[in-house]
Structure 1
């Protein structure tokens, strides 16, 4: 397991990409870059908006919460669909089980929802590393909107650098996605 050190928390205050308040604009920008590449959503509300806009993510990582409060029944019903994989991931951590589930989900032939017991907030980092180049990873920025990360070498390097500063054995945790 990797644990976010207190000193590194400030690195997560600023978004890792452009922030969108309109789902359609986000999807238009994502599809103009690489239409066949996977779309990965981290967060219940982001997943809900993508599904409602008619573009369900290929992989969704959810935990049944938004801002540490339970999501509405409408959102919960809308996001807990398709192939469901359950993993445990504690707050402020990235578990090997979460990383393995991301790798498996991206390799699966069908859309997959990873339901996290605990918290999925940091799943964006391994999602960028696990996703193929050209993919899009979208996550929620509280009280601002949705952040879109285009998966390229620069994004992968940024996430790898951040994860190397976590407490724990980075290589062992990331081994399931062979980073």
Structure 2
């Protein structure tokens, strides 16, 4: 079930990086907190190649709306526990939000495999992840964006969620573990 939808007039708010952009995964990892939530196939690939399996990886088998190459797919095909969710493009589903909360509560790395699109998962990940964590996502043609989970970044993420169309209260309740 879709809880939130990105309105067309808000698409621009998601174009600007929410944190510093890195092109070197090892440098990013040196600055990252714990746990690490990776949103995107290429980001997850680069973190794994650099020797760090994200605690939570949200992937959909695509990059820039095209299937990832064999090399990336092979690295992403690991032994981690998988949660399968449906999440339509430009939306956040109940299943996606629940999977984020469930994966963050796990002691072992979890891959959330999305049928649809995972692009908006960064925002609820910032709300659900504990302070001190890091959320990493891809900035097309630029690199990887590192967002530290702080009271400020969490407040900004909650504000962005509130600007999406749909049931913000239900979404925040699900992310706070109340739903």
Q: Which consecutive unaligned segments of at least 5 residues does structure 1 have?
A: none
The number of aligned residues is 174
Q: Give the equivalent residue in structure 2 for 1:158.
A: 156
The whole-number CA distance in structure 2 between the counterparts of 1:113 and 1:164 is 26
When the two chains are superposed, the root-mean-square deviation of aligned CA atoms in Å is 1.0
Shift of 1:96: 1.1
TM-score under structure 1 normalisation? 0.95
2-structure distance, mates of 1:162, 1:177? 14
Provide TM-score, normalisation by structure 2.
0.95
**1-structure distance, mates of 2:112, 2:173:** 19
Partner of 1:61: 58
Correspondence for 1:79: 76
Gapped regions of structure 2 (runs ≥ 5) = none
State the 1:177 CA deviation.
2.0
Where do residues 30-41 of structure 1 align in structure 2 (5 Å cutoff)?
A: 30=32, 34=33, 37-41=34-38
**Aligned-pair CA distance for 1:76:** 1.4
Distance 2:55 2:28 in 1: 16
Query: What is the CA-CA distance between 1:122 and the residue it aligns to?
Result: 0.4
Distance in 1, matches of 2:53 and 2:108, equals: 11
For 1:137 and 1:80, the matched residues in 2 are separated by 21
Residue 29 of structure 1 deviates from its aligned partner by 1.2
| SS at structure 2 position matched to 1:76 | helix
Partner residue in 2 for 1:47:
44
